Structure 1
Amino acid sequence: MTTRILLIEDDQELNELLSEFLSLENFHVDQAFDGEQGLNMALNGQYDVLVLDIMMPKMNGLDLLKQFRISHKTPVLMLTARSDEVDRIVGFEMGADDYLPKPCNPREISARIRAILRRVEMDKSGLEASGKRQIIIREDVELNHNTRIVSKQGETIDLTSTEFNLLASLLAKAGQVLSKEELTENALGRKLALYDRSVDMHMSNLRRKLGPFVSNEPRIKTIRGVGYQYVINA
């Protein structure tokens, strides 16, 4: 089955270049050249991945993403200015799955799309849960692999698919330190790239949503230069 991509990018030359390249990579690509057009197509089409620029006329990419996430969980790959980390952080908070700084190589975009699709397929097939308990409980947090629902003290926590995968990896090895390389592969379906802060940003959102223990101690510790650890609360 052909993978359908919606490319939302106002730079017409770049849009055409990426569309042509992705078509050669056997993706079906629809194009949008401003935010309003992109949102309308995203809401009314059946797409497997959205590739979304941030700075666009009529509606910027962050506003588009916010409205789209109200009703759709389709994976979104953001394209951001190389130095604009604030946009990346806000984008992740609104539910983006991954990002690439511009200018970027079309081959890297293709690779990121394929990584997202692999991760989505793993989520659907339950391969990530193989060999693990279907329900993991750590203190007041419960994670259910079958329903992909996380709750704390009985209240459901709204996590993105990437945040769920990160938490599942941490809870399965609570008390152990997991490297950023391992977490990137588990949550994003790809290798860790140089200067890649995707996991750090997703982890920041995850910490905010989970909150600390009742003792006010952090649930997730950063082990500088290594990775992250879900703390076993004594």
Structure 2
Amino acid sequence: MNRFKVLVADDDPNVLEIIRLYFEKQQIELVEAHDGAQALDMVEKESPDIILLDVMMPNMDGFEACREIRKKSDIPIIMLTAKGEEFDRVLGLELGADDYVTKPFSPRELVARIKAIFRRLQPRNDANAQEGSPTQLEFKDLFIHLGKRDVHVQGERVAFRPKEFDLLVHLAKSPGSVFTREQLLEQVWGYDFMGDIRTVDVHVKKLRQKLSTLEHEYIQTVWGVGYKFEVQE
């Protein structure tokens, strides 16, 4: 795996020190910010591969920083949130975060999630250019180009964030197959289920919003089980 750069925004020096030490062992380049405003500035200057945003920071909190970053970039964002603050975690996902990690966290878990995201960012065209692999998925009013990571809804290009695109493709590649939330966390996010399935639910909600102009609802809920992609007959 190539060396990559992670921007961590947190005003707690102890958290930064723990992350710094563990990142050094994993050969991950660390860029530090101590508040949301500084994080926003560092995104422009450093062009990180992934961003970690603490929720509670001075000058500009993690929510506002996430909102501002999403206006300019699709860089994957992981929110760092205090244990038990479910509303905070969901709000972060609604604002455009790709994932969240609850404090106190294991550095090993944090790095595992970062690497899972980074693996999915590796040469996107190569992953879909293998012999026998489809380069596009086409339905009646929905077109997905895997290599370009483009989605066209009724002929119009619609922007999907990286994890939204990955989830849509995973479901669309297996029409009719039902996936549990735990399976989607493991297969799309790249790590084992860790006790909170809200991440999947929020991303499905985002998919449905972006496909809402279609007459047919492709992403369907299978109550008590999970989700499936249902092709229009």
TM-score by length of 2: 0.89
Q: Which consecutive residues of structure 1, in runs of 5 or more, have no partner in the other structure?
A: none
Query: Mean Cα displacement is larger for which, 164-173 or 115-124?
Result: 115-124
- C-alpha change, 1:53 and 1:228, in structure 2 (3 Å) is same
| Residue of structure 2 equivalent to 1:227 | 226
CA distance in 2, matches of 1:130, 1:223: 33
Counterpart check, 1:32 vs 2:33: yes
**2:125, 2:148 within 8 Å by CA — same for their partners in 1?**
no
User: What residue number does 2:47 align with?
Assistant: 46
1:186 Cα offset (Å): 3.6
Task: Write the mapping of 1:41-190 to structure 2, written as runs, cut at 5 A.
Answer: 41-121=42-122, 123=124, 125-127=126-128, 131-190=132-191
Alpha-carbon distance in 1 for matches of 2:95, 2:130: 26
What is the CA-CA distance between 1:30 and the residue it aligns to?
1.8
Segments of structure 2 that go 5 or more residues without pairing to the other structure are none
- Deviation at residue 42 of structure 1 after TM alignment: 1.5
| 1:110-138 deviations in Å (ceiling 9; x for gaps) | 11111111111163532598744212122
Structure 1 residue identity aligned to 2:223? R
Name the CA distance, whole Å, in 1 between partners of 2:129 and 2:101: 25
> Would the aligned equivalents of 1:165 and 1:186 in 2 still touch at CA under 8 Å?
no
* CA contact 1:80–1:88 (8 Å) conserved in 2: yes
- The CA distance in 1 between the partners of 2:218 and 2:76, in whole Å, is 27
Bigger mean CA deviation after superposition, 80-89 or 100-109: 80-89
CA shift, 1:145, in A, is: 0.8
- RMSD of aligned alpha carbons: 2.2
Partner AA of 2:168 in structure 1: L
- Is the 1:175–1:232 contact (alpha carbons within 8 Å) kept by the matching residues of 2? yes
- Contact 1:19/1:31 (<8 A) preserved: no
Q: Which residue identity does 2:229 align to in structure 1?
A: Y
Please identify runs of 4+ aligned residues in structure 1 that moved more than 6 A: none
Preserved CA contact (<8 Å) 1:7 1:32: yes
Q: For 2:202 and 2:179, how far apart are their aligned partners in 1? A: 16
Quick one: which amino acid aligns to residue 232 of structure 1? V
> Alpha carbons of 1:156 and 1:127: their partners in 2 closer, same or farther (altered >3 Å)?
closer
Going from structure 1 to structure 2, the CA distance change for 1:204 and 1:54 (only over 3 Å counts) comes to: same
Paired residues of 1:212 and 1:218 also in contact (CA < 8 A)? no
SS in 2 for 1:114: helix
d(CA) in 1 for partners of 2:37 and 2:193? 33
Tell me if the contact between 1:163 and 1:187 (Cα under 8 Å) persists in the aligned partners.
no
SS at match of 1:194: coil
Which whole-Å CA distance do the structure 2 matches of 1:47 and 1:127 have between them?
A: 25
Contact 2:128–2:135 (CA under 8 A) maintained in structure 1: no
| 8 Å Cα contact 1:51-1:78 kept in structure 2 | yes
Deviation at 1:184, TM superposition (A): 2.4
In the alignment of these two chains, the number of paired residues is: 232
Q: What letter corresponds to residue 123 of structure 1 in structure 2?
A: R
Give, as a single letter, the amino acid of the residue that structure 1 aligns with 2:40. L
Asked if the contact 1:166–1:186 (Cα under 8 Å) also holds between the matched residues in 2, the reply is no
